[in-house]
Amino acid sequence: NNDQVERVIRDRRVQAVSFTGSSAAGAKVAAVAASEIKPAVLELGGSDPCLILSDADLDKAAEVVTLSRIINAGQSCIAAKRIIVEAPVYDAFIDKLATRLSALKLGDPRAESTDVGPIARPDLRDNLHRQVRQTIDAGARCLLGGEMPEGDGFFYPVTLLVDVTPGMAASCEETFGPVAVVMKADDAEQALAMANDSDYGLAGSVWTRTERGEALARRMETGQVSVNGIVKTDPRLPSGGIKRSGVGRELGAHGIHEFVNAQQVWIGPVKG
């Protein structure tokens, strides 16, 4: 519980803190650590943008985006959560994405035939459903799912929301579940602006020509970017976010340096 965590952080034997979780919980952990003058690395929530530009391989993008959004029943910090599609390929990409999402099976996570398991807690499912309903009420179209299922377990159906616009709940809040949110951009510049218009900055991805994707990636306000591939962590590379998505880096050399003492030793000149 919270009291136990606070006692651990305040214990003199604990020299630093690394936390992965929600932005709200991270703020509390950081506050306790700061009050004890202890460093903290925070890997928090995200609303990762995924840019699909008109020159992208739509079939490959739809395949990877489906995995990125649905892995672990959509309960992943880094995932394709805001899918921003350039106007010329908007309808075509939605068709391809809908085909793949509709084929997924919701059920017992212990069964090999299951693609999507349950949500971790009932309150998380309730909040996800609130986000979906508020987004639909604000004008988005729901092509798949969107209804709270009956029966045992905290299951939520694979849901596809399209025509989502900035300001809607599913575009400005983190959706932690199997909900794909699709937004339309007039061009690449607008897509990038929409991607950066977020309180979060954990990860992002872009689907386009490699050189163009690399150039756009450098302008994305995130801690990591994937070009023509799934966003993921790698123990060899630094991982973390900016804005409300965290502080510091995990993994790689940067992650090690977060918790070492860069000590200066100066030896004066010796006479004679």
Q: What is the pLDDT of residues 138-152, one digit of tens each?
A: 999 999 999 999 889
Q: Whole-number mean pLDDT of the chain?
A: 97
Contact call for residues 227 and 205 (beta carbons, < 8 A):
yes
How many domains does the chain contain in total? 2
Residues in CB range of 180: below 8 A, 6 or more apart:
65, 66, 69, 80, 83, 97, 101, 158, 159, 160, 161
Same domain, 176 and 158: yes
The answer to whether position 271 is within a domain reads no
pLDDT at 51 over 80: yes
258 is catalytic: no
Q: What percent of the chain has pLDDT over 90?
A: 97
Give the model's pLDDT for residue 46: 95
Which of 6, 36, 43, 63 does the annotation list as catalytic?
43
Average the pLDDT over each of 61-65, 94-98, 186-190, 267-271 and give the range with the smallest value: 267-271
Residue 1 reports pLDDT greater than 90: no
- Give the pairing of strands 246-247 and 200-201: unpaired
Q: What is the pLDDT of residues 232-258, one digit of tens each?
A: 999 999 999 999 999 999 999 999 999
173 domain residue, yes or no: yes
| Confidence class for position 2, pLDDT limits 50, 70, 90 | confident
Query: Is 272's pLDDT higher than 80?
Result: no
Q: Verify that 70 and 196 share a domain, yes or no.
A: yes
Residue at 269 is within a domain: no
Residue 82 and residue 35 share a domain: no
**Separation CA 76–CA 60 (nearest Å):** 21
Task: Say if residues 248 and 26 touch (Cβ distance below 8 Å).
Answer: no
User: DSSP assignment, residue 199?
Assistant: S
- Which residue range forms the structural domain that includes residue 125? 49-227
Question: Considering 50, 77, 86, 250, which one is annotated as catalytic?
Answer: 77
Which CATH number is 135's domain given? 3.40.309.10
Q: Is residue 38 domain-shared with residue 96, that is, in the same domain?
A: no
What does DSSP say about strands 141-144 and 17-20: parallel, antiparallel, or unpaired?
unpaired
Per-residue model confidence (pLDDT) at position 271: 82
Same domain assignment for residues 86 and 136:
yes
Q: Is 270's pLDDT higher than 90?
A: no
Verdict on whether the full-model pTM lies above 0.75: yes
- Any domain includes 193: yes
Residue 77 is a catalytic residue: yes
pLDDT of residue 253: 96
Better-predicted residue by pLDDT, 150 or 130: 130
Q: What is the mean pLDDT of residues 40-69?
A: 98
124 and 251 housed in the same domain? no
